[in-house]
Amino acid sequence: MGGGTVARTMRPAVRRPRRSVAIVAGLVALALAGCASAIRSAAPSPAVTGDASAGASAPLAASASPGSTPFATGPVGTTSLPPTSPAASVVAAAVGPAPAVQVQRVASVPSALAIANAHDGTNRIFVASQSGQVWVVINGQRSASPVLDIADRITSGGERGLLGLAFHPRFPGDPRLFVDYTDRSGNTVVSSFAVVGGGSGPVDPASERVVVRQVQPYPNHNGGALAFGPDGFLYIALGDGGSGGDPQGNGQRLDTLLGKILRLDVDSASGGRAYGIPTDNPFVAQPGARPEIWLTGLRNPWRFGFDRASGDLWIGDVGQDRWEEVDVSRAGAGGLNFGWNRTEGFHCFAPASGCATDGLAPPVAEYAHGPRCSITGGVVYRGAAYPSLAGRYLFADYCTGELFAITAAGDGRREPQVVGRVTQGISAFGEDESGELYVANVAEGWLGRISATIP
Binding site for Ca ion (CB under 5 A): 338-340
Output the smallest distance, CB 295 to Ca ion, in A.
11
Q: What is the C-alpha to C-alpha distance for residues 437 and 453, in angstroms, rounded to an integer?
A: 14
At a CB cut-off of 8 Å and minimum separation 6, what does 312 contact? Answer: 89, 306, 328, 329, 330, 331, 380, 408
Q: Sort 95 into a burial class: Cβ within 10 Å, 0-12 / 13-18 / 19+.
A: exposed
Output the smallest distance, CB 378 to Ca ion, in A.
17
Output the smallest distance, CB 32 to Ca ion, in A.
15
Nearer to Ca ion, 284 or 352 (CB): 352
The answer to whether residues 138 and 1 touch, using CB atoms and an 8 Å cutoff, is: no
Output the smallest distance, CB 317 to Ca ion, in A.
6
Output the smallest distance, CB 297 to Ca ion, in A.
6
The answer to whether residues 389 and 99 touch, using CB atoms and an 8 Å cutoff, is: yes
Residue spans of alpha helices (H) in 217-356: none
| 282 backbone φψ class: left, alpha, beta (φ>0; ψ -120 to 50) | alpha
Q: What is the C-alpha to C-alpha distance for residues 256 and 279, in angstroms, rounded to an integer?
A: 19
Output the smallest distance, CB 76 to Ca ion, in A.
14
The answer to whether residues 229 and 263 touch, using CB atoms and an 8 Å cutoff, is: yes
Nearer to Ca ion, 52 or 298 (CB): 298
Q: What is the C-alpha to C-alpha distance for residues 392 and 240, in angstroms, rounded to an integer?
A: 28
Output the smallest distance, CB 366 to Ca ion, in A.
9
Look up residue 299 and give its amino acid.
R
Nearer to Ca ion, 307 or 317 (CB): 317
Nearer to Ca ion, 295 or 390 (CB): 295
Look up residue 215 and give its amino acid.
V
